[in-house]
Structure formats: C-alpha cells, structure tokens
C-alpha cells in the first residue's frame, strides 16, 4: 500500500474511532427522566440568611459522611437480603459492602448505585484512580433533617417569594400544592465530589423510610412505577462565601441525552431549582487537582467543627486533616413535594404514618425480575437462582444508566481493577 493510501486509511480509522467513541458515550437516560425544568437563580438566599445558615452549620458541630445517612432516620428494609456477617475487625471485605447502622452486618450502602458508577467510570471527569482515592472522593459529609419546625431560618427559606416562585415553575402545572419536608447540609473538603445520581425518590407507597435508596433509584429508572411517582422541587443553594471558578465544584445536570451536561458555578447565595429525583445531576470535583483525605469506608469518618473557623476530618477518632471554613464547599439542599391537591397530600402523609399497603421488598424484587424476563430476555430460573447480592448488581447494571465521562480516550477507571484482580497490582501501581 502506498503512503497516500495509508494516510487515507489512517484518517478513516481516526474518524470512525472518534464517532464510535462518541456514540458509546452518548447517554442512555430513559425518556421519562428527560426534559424537566431546571432554573439557576443568582442571589437566591438573602445575605443575612446565608450568614445564619453558616452559623447553623458550625453549631451542628459534627457531620458524618453521606455514606451514613441512616444515622438520621430508620427504614423498614435496610437491605434486600444481601447482608453478610461483618468481619471480626469490624470491616467489610467486599469493596461494595459497608457496615450497617448498628455495625452487625455488611450491606450494600444506600447509594451503591452512585458509588458503583463513580468507581467504574471515574465520575464526570473520568478519573483513573485506585480504590482508596476514588472512595474517599465520594465520602463527603452531611446531615439530613426532616424536622423543619426546629429550624426557623429554614422555614423562612421555604416561605420566601423566591422559593415559591421557583417551586411553582419546577413542579408540574397540575401539582402546585407544596409540602416542605426536608433539608440537608452537604459539605465537601478539597478533592471530594458529588457523583452522578438521582436524589431519594418518593413514590406513594415507597420511600427511603421503607426501602434502600438504591432500590428506589432502580424503581425510578425502570419506569414501572410512574403512576405512583411523587414529584419534588429542590433547591441546591450555596452557603460558603468564596467565589473562585478555579476551585471547581460545579453543579452539573442532564436535561437530555447530549454527551455534555449543563454546568453552573457554585456562586455564594445562588441556588438551582430542579427535581433531583428525575434529573440526573452531580458536582464536579472540588479542587480537582487535590486528593481528599484517605478514609476507610468501614471506619467512623467525620468532619468536626473545632471552633475558631477550624474543622478536622477524623477517622475512628484519628485526625487526618485540618481545614478552615473557607476551604469547604458548603451547600444547603431543601426540598418540597408537589401534590395535585390537599387530599393527595393528606393521603401520602397517612400512608407514611400507618405504613398501610407498604409492600414486602420481595414483591418489589418480583416486579423487577418479571420485567427483566419480559423486556430484557433474562431466564426466570436464573434470576431466581441468583444470590440477593448478585441480583442487586444485575438490577443496578440493567436499569441505572448514569452518563459516562464525556472526555478522555478510555472512559473506564482501569486503576480500580486490582481491587478485584490482585495479580494486576504490580502493573497498575506503575501507571496509576
């Protein structure tokens, strides 16, 4: 083959590889999770309110990692049957299992859907990192509060004209009755991220107070329970004072199946209105060139305010790193449900109080197995033979389609492979 033809072949190969790569990375988000409203509002939170919120954050003193959200509420089904006995040293050997609330079992964490995708693909940035670094990027810190009456400043946020206007435009037009129910403080230290996810999904008869959140996410992606879906409005607001685009920590979200997400800067006192339970979203890495404090997923990890604008990250009581308040990315996320009428709102509350018609988790799994059989060709015999751990992994792989990183030659985090194939460690230690 002459040089001219070789050049043509090379160019064609590059073009084909480019478009094949983009086709592979094009998101495959289900239709019912697309084209929902999202609105960014600068100066959403008043200056005095932002100061009061920051003081509230400091007053809360301790923030466990978001891996431990069950510290703040109880759920009927902590797991789907995948639980294993914890090791004698209090750790969970499986990379995807963590200690449960009382430390007696190893279970899939509530957001295994989020962690599994981030670990495999490296997040929005497509990072290639060892397990310990990737896991620590996800172990940001937070508190989940469901008693709003104890926090007048948060009640003021829900009552503000700016919130009411944004909420009305975010909720469906036929669901304009608001039901404020929760707020969170979420904090990242440098090097940490919020991975792609859907927020806790609420159905009429299924919420985080009954089932693991990853299972609710599977249910939402499946589209099988759309008639029972409870719409929400949430604000992602920024309490920190710094304004520096070089720090990263951008809010990203997907309104369609474009390869690139929408992005917004985490400006002080700004906020984004979305229904996070039907818009896939994340935050880019805060200080992307830095590594986070390395934390064992099985340890008791906390961010603790020591006073005088000083914070420490501790793991089983040992201080790993110290930060100032200005070093932190601090968000408040506050949410309200959207209902068609006061009667529908009352019905939802009654079901929560009485637990009427709450289905056993086995029935939910049977629904999903039936769908896997009828729409995806799985043998019911094989599905019934799988362990609950393996069934959980199949549900995650089949239903949850978070987007892949848009850039980089290889979208997979190959540096994680030695966690599952130890013989690769000498090779990966050289390149990762």
What is the DSSP track for 143-183? Answer: EEE--GGG-HHHHHHHHSHHHHHHHHHHS-TT--EEEEEEE
Q: Which helix (H) or strand (E) holds 14?
A: helix 3-25
Look at residue 384 and give its three-state secondary structure.
helix
Look at residue 232 and give its three-state secondary structure.
strand
Q: What mean pLDDT is predicted for residues 185-196?
A: 97
The pLDDT score that the predictor gives to residue 14 is: 45
Q: What is the 3-state secondary structure (H, E, C) of 289-309?
A: CCCCCCCCCCCCEEEEEEECC
Distances (CA, A) of 187 to 78, 308, 429: 25, 18, 31
Q: What percent of the chain has pLDDT over 90?
A: 81
- Render the burial of 136-168: b for 16+ CB within 10 Å, e for the rest: bbbbbbbbbbeebeebebbeebbeeebbeebbe
Q: Per residue in 376-427, pLDDT tens?
A: 999 999 999 999 999 999 999 999 989 999 887 788 999 998 988 899 999 9
The pLDDT score that the predictor gives to residue 5 is: 58
Contacts (Cβ under 8 Å, ≥6 apart) of 374:
none
Residue 22 neighbours by CB distance under 10 Å: 11
- Do 119 and 164 contact (CB within 8 A), yes or no? no
Q: Which helix (H) or strand (E) holds 138?
A: helix 131-138
The pLDDT score that the predictor gives to residue 6 is: 53
- Do 357 and 90 contact (CB within 8 A), yes or no? no
CATH pick for 6-431 out of 3.40.190.10, 1.10.357.140, 1.20.1440.130, 2.60.120.620:
2.60.120.620
Q: Per residue in 71-116, pLDDT tens?
A: 778 899 999 999 999 988 888 988 889 999 888 999 999 999 999 9
Q: What mean pLDDT is predicted for residues 135-141?
A: 95
Does position 298 have pLDDT exceeding 80, yes or no?
A: yes
**Residues found in the chain:** 432
- Do 403 and 116 contact (CB within 8 A), yes or no? no
The C-alpha atoms of residue 102 and residue 99 are separated, in whole angstroms, by: 8
Model confidence, pTM: 0.91
What is the DSSP track for 265-290? Answer: ---TT-EEEE-TTTS-EEEPPBSTTS
The C-alpha atoms of residue 140 and residue 284 are separated, in whole angstroms, by: 13
Mean pLDDT of the chain: 92
SS3 content of the chain, % helix, strand, coil (to 5): 40, 20, 40
Q: How far is CA 389 from the centre of its chain?
A: 20
């Amino acid at each position: 083959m002459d040089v001219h033809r070789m050049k043509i072949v090379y160019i064609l190969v590059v073009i084909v590889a480019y478009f094949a790569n983009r086709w592979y990375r094009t998101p495959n988000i289900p239709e019912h999770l697309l084209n929902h409203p999202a609105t960014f509002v600068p100066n959403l939170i008043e200056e005095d309110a932002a100061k009061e919120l920051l003081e509230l954050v400091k007053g809360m003193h301790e923030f466990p990692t978001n891996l431990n959200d069950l510290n703040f509420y109880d759920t009927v089904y902590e797991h789907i049957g995948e639980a294993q006995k914890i090791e004698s040293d209090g750790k969970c050997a499986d990379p995807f299992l963590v200690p449960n609330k009382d430390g007696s079992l190893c279970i899939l964490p509530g957001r295994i859907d989020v962690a599994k995708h981030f670990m495999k693909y490296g997040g929005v940035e497509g990072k290639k990192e060892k397990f310990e670094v990737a896991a620590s990027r996800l172990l940001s810190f937070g508190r989940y509060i469901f008693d709003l009456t104890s926090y007048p400043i948060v009640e003021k946020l829900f009552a503000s004209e700016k919130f009411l206007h944004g909420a009305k435009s975010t909720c469906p037009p036929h669901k304009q009755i608001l039901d404020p129910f929760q707020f969170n403080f979420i904090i990242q230290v440098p090097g940490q991220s919020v991975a792609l996810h859907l927020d806790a999904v609420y159905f009429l008869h299924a919420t985080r107070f009954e089932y693991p959140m990853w299972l609710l996410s599977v249910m939402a992606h499946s589209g099988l329970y759309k008639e029972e879906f409870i719409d929400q409005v949430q604000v992602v607001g920024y309490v920190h004072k710094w304004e520096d685009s070089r720090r990263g920590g951008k809010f990203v979200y997907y309104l369609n199946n474009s390869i690139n997400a929408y992005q917004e800067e985490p400006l002080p006192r700004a906020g984004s209105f979305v229904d996070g339970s039907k818009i896939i979203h994340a935050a880019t890495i805060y200080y992307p060139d830095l590594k986070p404090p390395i934390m064992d997923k099985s340890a008791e990890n906390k961010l603790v305010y020591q006073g005088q604008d000083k914070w420490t990250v501790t793991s089983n009581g040992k201080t790993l790193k110290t930060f100032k308040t200005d070093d932190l990315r601090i968000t408040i996320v506050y949410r309200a449900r959207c209902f068609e009428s006061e009667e529908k709102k009352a019905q939802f509350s009654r079901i929560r109080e009485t637990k009427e018609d709450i289905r056993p988790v086995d029935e939910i799994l049977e629904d999903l197995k039936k769908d896997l059989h009828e729409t995806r060709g799985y043998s019911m015999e094989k599905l019934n033979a799988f362990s609950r751990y393996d069934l959980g992994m199949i549900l995650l792989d089949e239903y949850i389609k978070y987007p892949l990183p848009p850039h980089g030659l290889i979208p997979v985090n190959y540096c994680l492979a030695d966690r599952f194939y130890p013989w690769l460690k000498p090779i990966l230690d050289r390149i990762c």
